[in-house]
Structure 1
Amino acid sequence: MSFVSRLLTGAAALALSATATQAFAEDARPADAQADAGANQPSDIVVTGSARAQRRFGVSYAVNSMSHEQIAKLAPRSMAELIGALPGIQVEATGGEVQNITRIRGIPTDRGYLYFQQDGLPLFHELDGYFFNAGDGMNRLDLMTDRVETVRGGPAPIYASTAAGIANVITRTGTDHTQGEAQLTLGTSGLYRLDAYQSGPLGHDTYYAVGGFLRLNEGYRDAGYPSDKGGQIRANILHKFSNGSLKLSGEYVNDRNAFYLSIPTADPRNTSVSLNPYINYFTGTLNSSSLESVNIRYRDGSGNIQTQHGDLSNGRHIMFGNVALDYEGDFGPWHVSAKGGYTKGKNHFDALYSTSNPVDAGTFAAGYLSAARTAFGSNVSYLGYAFAGTNGQGVYNPAASSGLVLSAQYRSVEADFYSGQGDLSVTRKFDTPIGKHDIRVGLYGSRYGSTAFSIYQNYLMPVQSNPQMLDLVAYSSSGSVLGYVTDNGAINDAVSMTGGAYNGRVFAAYGTDTWDITDHLRVDLGLRREWYEYDGWYRVTTSANLGNAATLADDATRAFTGQIVNQKLKPNATNWTVGANYDLNGHLGAYARMSQLQVPPGASVTISSPIVTTTTSAKLYEVGLKASFGRSYLYLTGFYTKFDPLSAAFTAFNPTTGRSDQTINFVGKARDIGVEADGQLHIAGPLSIAGSLTVQDPKYLNFTSSVGADASGGNGKQMVRQPKIYGNIRPTVDFMAGGNKISLYGRYDYVSRRYVDYSNTTALPAYGYFGVGALFERDRWSFQVVGDNITNAHGLTEGNTAGDVLTGQGSSTAIFGRPLFGRSFRFVLSRKW
């Protein structure tokens, strides 16, 4: 059965049973709010982080809601790009369609504790699965997306586990009128995508919605094979009662996505020399079609040699299904919400990770000459390069190209995963002599787990795009092959390996009280207590020689010993929040909030040694000002985030062992202070200008080391890869011409200087880039043109993360990183009915 057939068959089966949960409702909006100045905004009502649906203007925390119309105009290429349009969230969306980096202001991690939900529940309980979740990894946009609500800080720790922020993807549901849309997208990157959805009535008070996408994309970088192929389908059936509703939902995803890693951009021997002639800044990648058939040999626990087969063109291949049930009901003054979901899937992740800077080919070979003579005899005259698989005869001369070689790490990772989660809450309003209380109490529970198998192998290659792997060959004076440093291109066979499984259980009790003291003043409180229980096991590994005398590459592989280690952990966390909101009138207001976030280690720590037991704790403080006048608004939020203590581990690649085993653990503090702005100015006539801006000062403080490492290098330094300024501005002109509704818009994004390492020795320069678009609508047809990075602006979003986080890159400015994608265009044709 073909891939598309499997996708459609599985999707149809799930569509009959279906996922998810949509918060109860626009009809909860108070009548007097209809007349308020901001009431005509399409994303005025929010449900995330609140006991009941409220106007965005009325809540005491930073929240955005982007409707499907706004999402369509932003035309993001990924979920990360969409989230990156908001203040307080910095993204690195250059990894591809998924597996990107999101950072919430002040949070010193690559995920930023940004917790993704779908209709109020996670698809997988933990922030990150074993190479499969990573925030945007299980969430893709399509026409079934009604809106995306994003909370930064505020009450996020109360409404989700380990959350400094929540991104809640809310799906469409049916109405009394049948409607739908089909959309065709073509792109200059070789993109072909079809989206569609339809919704409507099934019977009395019963409605359906179903939709999804199929997509093929050759890719923004030329790897020699398609970058993305696959799709998803989501569906739901909603039945309304006189006092509530019941919704059954389902989702099926079967998708392959390339993961782009960093590339070298300048010669480390002379950083003024660009490597662009060999690996193009905008289209080049170390991903290679020569790695479509990878064989990694390793010794299992019984001493037998096994082979793990890999195919880099599969990329990150995830398949999962989710079903969910959501009930909302009113019983007099009581509101009951009960929702549950179950996800099961598997992921096979093949990616090529950069490790260390390129090195002079002669210097690299000379470093192995002594070992080669020891292994293959003193008659080894010299070491030379040949293309892998040519038995040393396909000679490669580095001097005819860049003169450089580099190594990169092929990672093959497999995981089966499951996650069941449920939330039950009861909400009631009480009138008291001093205002009204809206109290919500709830219980949340989840049981989840994953198997884990990973094996890494380091490859030798020239500095060029889509490189062919190289062998380093030991030759006699007559040119005869005496042996190999490498093994069919591999410089280190099976250099790292992990095997095991874990299960996690969490139970949480939470409560909130929204207290309307007067018509203008509101105070809200929240408390969440969580109990975790983890059990897992892992296979012990050791060093082993696989016994191939013709190569040095298998002399020190990792092998399973046969020993199994079981581990358990029972952490807990207590999170709380206190906020106040004062609205002078329907146009002007202010708020303040203080929250505590505790994040225990995840269940996956039970498959590693030594087991991590430290719970991270942070205090989040916010003060906000807000103004809303018609279609214009401005939200300003000052924030202060402090981690005390912060347990920070910085790990780098060790070229001697070929593994990322250079780790320094520090304990100290981290703090971020700044302000974020989110606004839109509608000027009389067709012009409006929207934008977001974050200005911050993220720093490490008071680092110490229990093992005597020098911690002073990080004290007072800017957090790794976090800028002090980032934001965007988006002007739009909307007008009518000849019966056509036309929108012309632009966008400029800016990110200030960052650093690749904790001691700030190598900088990632500031960058900015432009996007443009035009949308034409007539009757039920629309046509959109979207241009990304139209000036081919240069910008590095990260460094060589495996090799430079401890010591930098040996240069003041990064010469190895993941660049912005080059100029591209997309053309979108849609038809509604």
Structure 2
Amino acid sequence: MRAWSLYVSTAVLTTLSSPAMASESTVVEPQTKATVAADRAPPAAKSFSTGVAKGRDLLDSAISASTIDAIDIPKVGTMSVAGIVGNLPGIRAETSGVDGFSSLTVRGLPLAADGTKYLQIQEDGLPILEFGDVHLAGTDTFLRTDLGLSQVQVIRGGSASTFASNSPGGLINLISKTGEREEGGVQLSAGLDHDLKRIDFEYGAPLGEGWRFHVGGFYREGEGPREIGYTGIRGGQFKANVTRQFAGGFVRIYGKYLDDRQANYSLFPVTVGGTNAAPTFSNLPGTDARRNTSLSPYTASFLNVDQNNNPVTNDGRNGIRGVVKSVGLEAQFEISDWTVSNKFRFAANSGDYNENISLLTLPAETMAATLGGPGAVLTYASGPKAGEALTDLSGLNGNGLLTVPLYIHARLNNLNNVTNDVRASRVWTLGDGKLTTTAGLYASSQNVDMYWTFATGLEGFAAGGSTTRFNVTTANGLPLTDGGILTYGFPAFLGVPLSTYHRRYDVNYRVIAPYASSNYQLGKLSVGASLRLDYGKVSGLLYGADLGGGRNGTGTVDLDGNGVISIPEAQVAVLPLSQPGNVDYKYHYLSYSAGVNYRIAEPISVFARYSRGGRAAAERVFFSPQHDPAGGGLTDPSIAYGRVKQAEAGVKLRHEGISVFLTGFWATTSESGFQIGADATGAAKVINFSRSYSAKGLELESEIHRGPFSLALGATYAKSKIDQDTTDPTLNGNRPRHQPSLFFTARPQFEQGIVTVGTTINGTTSSFAQDSNILKQPGYVIFNPFLFVRPVSRVELGLTAYNVFDKLAFVNISSAAIPASGVVNAQTLNGRTITGTVRFSF
């Protein structure tokens, strides 16, 4: 309750707030297609407001930043958050188009695990979650895009580390429309070659006497872009805000309700040949990794225990589900010569995470003998043939393979987040220049209450969502499976206890962070610095046999209630509820940033900046040697947070329809934790690591407009390296996994009268599948063309195609080297999907 008292009293007593790090007047509202069909020239001066003390023209700011407006978002070809921001320079996005199952990083910083460790994702200037890499609870689980989105602003490096906590690499801020002018629209979308239907709507307008409002949202439903045999995507969101503008300030209240689920397109097998340095990949016979997954209505549900060790049925058809109920308050006032602002939001976040990962793949005959011994018998455990014996093992599903999948289910009980950010700024006249000073206080409370459970089964690989489970019986008739389930936990062949990762987290993180900045502008020269001091307190309880200390993690449970204990039911992973582990520690760290900008002439400026930011450790530090479950503290207090150091220098040019921003960067960081990898055989394994990294490179963002033609181009060259790994020194000097040397995006476009046509191009060079740098992960280039036609006023017809050439493009390959089986598990981009839209504006 103390946290609530602090945040609510601050919000009520100050009754003050502002947009993302800026005054209300600095946020640029982009025009819509309906209102500016012909005007595509770039604005003369874009004011940027995220991660800075006061919004100003980018040519007057010593930062690297980018914006993508609502008018350009539909051209990307996807509505996923990661898919959109991955089109901005410096941002490396690994996604299969599913919100909640993406990895984001910036400028070569490592993707050691999933999520967004070094970037903070915000909505209207406040974080969605305090930590972007909570395992099985990615930030984008609780965030969606729709017609109510005004623009996406991204700052890389720079002052991001001092104007937000846990954001040493940068900030991504999704800014909502707020009804400055009367406009609205309804958009209907449908997949032309896949089953997905969607409706978006938005409307906003001034109400008179300083009042204005905006509402918007979406609803969608369908199987989705991949064949899974059931409705994999269902849900939507509704957002609303009301603003009262007055001389010198404004007050805004807003709210959001989100309940949306998506199928999780996880790893899927492909065949591999050639050599590790030059591998060749192709689809497994009878399947297509661009359109198929391991998901099926015949394998979606499985029995297990809940967090109280009671029998329950987990339904994987919920996929990745995010539920958000949030309310917020913003306000800003001019008090004497000071601009005082406050932002407050409470968000109740919950949901589910479900995933199916193949652990072991073998020919069906070999698998039967491996699990059941000579003469073992396989029968269908689910699907139309349930109960029938499997006779044609070599011809099963056209590929003759069986797999032992790991079913992951996480219940996201409570990831509630409450934040408050209050600040005061003033511009002073000092000599012939102006000094802008800002001081603020940020406070947040982040809950991480979630429960993980696992099971392993026996499946084949089939197309069209028709995968089934299989039972295995020994030659003398002893059943080894339960409805196709081998174990209610981890399998023995992994060499880990059955109860591995069967866990419950119930932890709270509190952050208090005072910060300050100053910027002095004298003619063409601007010099600024900022600092932030983060204080954190972490407390709570942990449950799991992984904590050690003699905790028992298995029990006998009659899960199906038939009064008979099967072999899998004789040992079920359970929580030692009477033996919780403690969490109780504090930390603090200092972040700072300093930069200089020189406006050489009206169209050109140069800048340089050095920053050091911090990132507190989230839940990944628990269940490890670094945490003491008895006392609750950390065995090494230094791992409570990590530092990122960055230097950058660049030149910015904007003149007569041409803009070119070129930045050189250098960054270092270190981290400890675990990641899911694989050995040379392709078998999945958990890898513990403690490493330091470095990255250096160049970043380009440019745009040219010539009559009806335009070209936007972004590219990042990054040379990344593992400087030192204390757990595995053989990795020293290697390139971190999934880190290409070059990734880029381009968007050529032609617009004349009623027609806009073009394509978005996304590409990446090759990288390594794992940190061992043995197996090459191929790069790719995909094309996403778009066509928009406005036949009559206020009506627009659209046609977009994602991955139009149907490229087999790899996001993640789990194996470290080509295994003897010639089969690896991989996460791929979706294949070609074509979507038609019609939009009515008013």
Assess, with a 3 A threshold, how the Cα gap between structure 1 residues 618 and 814 changes in structure 2: closer, same or farther: farther
Q: Does 1:665 align with 2:681?
A: no
SS, match of residue 621 in structure 1 = strand
Q: 1:388 aligns with which of 378, 381, 384?
A: 381
2:10 aligns with none
Deviation at 1:106, TM superposition (A): 2.4
Counterpart-to-counterpart distance in 1, 2:646 and 2:222 = 41
Paired letter, 1:65 = T
Aligned partner of 1:711 among 722, 729, 734: 729
Q: Residue 797 of structure 1 contacts residue 817 of structure 1 at CA under 8 Å; is this kept in 2?
A: yes
Task: Report the TM-score, using the length of structure 1 for normalisation.
Answer: 0.87
CA contact 2:27–2:48 (8 Å) conserved in 1: no
Contact 1:702 1:715 (8 Å CA) reproduced: yes
Whether the 8 Å contact between 1:498 and 1:538 is mirrored in structure 2 is yes
Where does residue 239 of structure 2 map in the other structure? 234
| CA gap 1:434/1:576 in 2 versus in 1, 3 angstroms | farther
1:585 corresponds, among 585, 597, 601, to: 601
Which residue in the other structure is 1:696 paired with? 718
Deviation for aligned residue 1:646: 3.7
User: Structure 1 residue 744: deviation in Å?
Assistant: 1.0
For residue 619 of structure 1, the aligned residue among 632, 645, 662 is 645
1:477-527 Cα offsets, whole Å, 9 max, x none, are xxxxx22232211222133411231111110010111111x2211111010
Q: Quote the Cα distance in structure 1 between the aligned partners of 2:536 and 2:206.
A: 42
Q: In structure 2, what residue type is equivalent to 1:96?
A: V
Partner in structure 2 of residue 456 of structure 1:
454
Root-mean-square deviation (Å): 2.9
Mapping of residues 548-627 of structure 1, within 5 Å: 551-554=566-569, 556-561=571-576, 562-602=578-618, 605=621, 611=627, 613=637, 614=639, 615-627=641-653
**Aligned mates of 1:423, 1:95 — CA distance in 2:** 32
Judged with a 3 Å threshold, the aligned counterparts in structure 2 of structure 1 residues 106 and 573 are, in CA distance, closer, same or farther, namely: farther
Aligned with 2:672 (options 647, 652, 676): 647
Change (3 A) 1:457 1:580: same
In the TM superposition, 1:218-229 aligns within 5 A as 218-229=223-234
* 2:21–2:52 CA contact under 8 A, matched in 1: no
Q: Distance in 1 between matches of 2:23 and 2:557?
A: 66
Distance of 2:366 and 2:280 partners within structure 1: 20
Residues 377, 389 of structure 2: 8 Å contact kept: no
After TM superposition, give the deviation of residue 751 of structure 1 in Å.
0.9
1:15 is matched with which residue? none
Unaligned runs of 5+ in 1: 1-18, 31-37, 371-380, 477-481
| Residue aligning to 1:77 | 79
AA aligned opposite 1:471:
N
Of residues 779-788 and 101-110 in structure 1, the stretch that sits farther from structure 2 once superposed is: 101-110
CA distance in structure 2 between the aligned counterparts of 1:641 and 1:507, rounded to whole angstroms: 26
Structure 2 SS opposite 1:73: helix
State the alpha-carbon separation in 1 of the partners of residues 484 and 228 from structure 2. Answer: 18
**Does the Cα contact within 8 Å between 1:261 and 1:354 map onto a contact in 2?**
no
Asked if the contact 1:78/1:98 (under 8 Å) is kept, the reply is no
Distance 1:660 1:20 in 2: 47
Q: Which amino acid aligns with 2:581?
A: V
Contact 2:18 2:332 in 1 (8 A): no
- What is aligned with 1:412? 409
Matched AA of 2:583:
Q
SS at match of 1:504: strand
State the aligned residue count. 767
Report the AA paired with residue 411 of structure 1: I
- CA–CA separation in structure 2 for the residues paired with 1:422 and 1:582: 34
Structure 1 residues 461 and 186, CA gap change in structure 2 (3 angstroms)? same
CA contact (8 A) 1:573 1:598 kept: yes
Q: Identify if the C-alpha distance between structure 1 residues 49 and 284 changes in structure 2 by more than 3 Å, giving closer, same or farther.
A: same
Tell me, in whole angstroms, the C-alpha distance in 2 between the residues paired with 1:316 and 1:135.
Answer: 12
| Cα distance between partner residues in 2 of 1:277 and 1:661 | 26
Residue 155 (1) aligns with residue 159 (2): yes
2:409 is the counterpart of 1:423: no
For 1:825, give the aligned amino acid. I
The 1:141/1:274 distance shift into structure 2, 3 A limit, reads closer
Alignment partner, residue 298 of structure 2: 290
SS of residue in 2 equivalent to 1:289: coil
Give the whole-Å Cα distance in 1 for the aligned partners of 2:128 and 2:591.
Answer: 22
Superposition deviation, residue 273 in structure 1: 8.7
Please point out which of 720, 724, 735 is paired with 2:752.
735
The residue that corresponds to 2:798 in the other structure is 784
Which range moved further: 790-799 or 810-819?
810-819
* Greater alpha carbon shift after TM alignment, 266-275 vs 522-531: 266-275
User: Partners of 2:821 and 2:709 in 1: how far apart?
Assistant: 43
610-619 or 443-452, larger mean C-alpha shift: 610-619
Deviation at 1:269, TM superposition (A): 12
Q: Deviations over 1:64-86 (max 9, x none)?
A: 11221122333433111110111
Q: Give the Cα–Cα distance (whole angstroms) in 2 for the partners of residues 607 and 502 of structure 1.
A: 13
Equivalent position of 1:8 in the other structure: none
The CA deviation at 1:812 is 13
2:51 partner SS: coil
How far the C-alpha of 1:26 sits from its partner, in A, is: 6.7
Q: 1:135 Cα deviation (Å)?
A: 3.0
Letter of the 1:116 counterpart: I
Counterparts of 1:451 and 1:702 in 2: how far apart (Å)? 34
Amino acid at match of 1:620: Q
Q: What is the TM-score of this pair, normalised by structure 2? A: 0.86
Question: Counterpart in 1 of 2:442?
Answer: 444
SS of equivalent residue, structure 2 residue 104: strand
Segment drifting more, 315-324 vs 121-130: 121-130
Structure 2 residue aligned with 1:137, among 129, 135, 141?
A: 141
Out of 521-530 and 284-293, give the one that drifted further. Answer: 284-293
Worse-matched range after superposition: 68-77 or 164-173: 68-77
The corresponding residue for 2:494 is: none
Task: Specify the alignment match of 1:180 in structure 2.
Answer: 184
Identity among equivalent positions (%) equals: 23
Alpha-carbon spacing, 1:27–1:535, altered in 2? closer, same or farther (3 Å): closer
Q: Deviations over 1:661-717 (max 9, x none)?
A: 6433334x211111010111223x311111111111111112223xxxx421x1111
Q: Displacement of 1:27 after TM fit?
A: 3.9
User: AA paired with 2:803?
Assistant: N
Are 2:743 and 1:726 aligned? yes
Offset of residue 600 of structure 1: 2.0
Q: Which residue of 2 aligns with 1:754?
A: 767
Deviations 1:341-387 (A, max 9, x none): 1011321222223334x2233333333346xxxxxxxxxx6112211
Is 1:832–2:835 an aligned residue pair? no
* Contact 2:22–2:50, Cα closer than 8 Å, also in 1: no
Alpha-carbon distance in structure 2 between the residues aligned to 1:55 and 1:793: 39
1:102 aligns with 2:128: no
Counterpart-to-counterpart distance in 2, 1:174 and 1:354: 48
* 1:137–1:701 distance in 2 versus 1, CA, 3 Å: same
